[in-house]
Amino acid sequence: LITSAGYRMQGHDYLPDIVACVGTTLCNLAVSDTPNSYRQVIDAFADDVDFWSDIGPLRIHMNGCPNSCAQHWIADIGLRGTREMQKNGSEEGFSIFVGGAVEGSGHIAEHVVDVSSKAVVPIMKQLLDLYLKDRNNGAEHFGVYARRVGVKYLRENLDLDLDVTNVQQVNQDLTAVFANVIKEAKP
C-alpha cells in the first residue's frame, strides 16, 4: 500500500531524521511546499548508503513559514519557508539555518543563506560535503561542526551559482497560459 502510493520503503534506516510540517499542502500560513521538498531530499539521497554512513546522525527540520511548527531553530539543518517577490508573482524558497541543538546548553540555529526551493537539495549536498571534508577526527557531529566553523565560513564556501529551474520563467509561462484561458472563455 505504501509503495503503491509512491513512497519509498528502503533507505529510512540510515537516512537522517527529517521532520516537515504540512506546508502549503494543508496550512494557510505556509508559503513553501515542505512535503515536496522533503520528498526531493529523500529521492536525491536515499540510495547513497555510503554517504549517509559517513554523515552519521543528522536532524533536518523543514518549515513552510516562520511559525516553526517543525522547529527549524533546533535542527542541525533547518529550513524555513520564504517567498521572493519577482516581476510576475513570487518564487518559493527556503532560508537555511545550521547548528541548532537542544542538548547541553542548547543553541539556536544560525542563518546561512536563502535559496529557491529548487536549490535546496544541491545546497544541502554542498553543506554536507563541506562537513565531510572539514570535520574534526572524522567523527564530529554536524551541529558541532557548523557552530565551530561558523556561518560566515559556510556562506563563503557554498557555490550559489546553481543551474536550477527558474521559477520566475515558470510564473511567466503560467501567466501567459492563464491569459489565453481567460481570453478563450470570454464570449
Q: What is the mean pLDDT of residues 44-57?
A: 86
Domains located in the chain, CATH noted: 3-185 (3.30.413.10)
Q: What is the pTM of this model?
A: 0.79
Categorize the per-residue pLDDT at 107 as very low, low, confident or very high, splitting at 50, 70 and 90.
very high
Q: Could you give the CA distance from residue 132 to residue 139 in angstroms, rounded to a whole number?
A: 9
Q: Averaging pLDDT over each range in 25-29, 51-55, 125-129, which range is the top one?
A: 125-129
Q: Could you give the CA distance from residue 163 to residue 159 in angstroms, rounded to a whole number?
A: 11
Percent of the chain clearing pLDDT 70 (strictly above): 84
pLDDT tens digits, 51-77: 888 988 899 999 999 999 999 999 999
Q: Which three cell numbers stand for residue 22?
A: 504540512
Categorize the per-residue pLDDT at 165 as very low, low, confident or very high, splitting at 50, 70 and 90.
very low
Residue 122 has pLDDT above 50, yes or no: yes
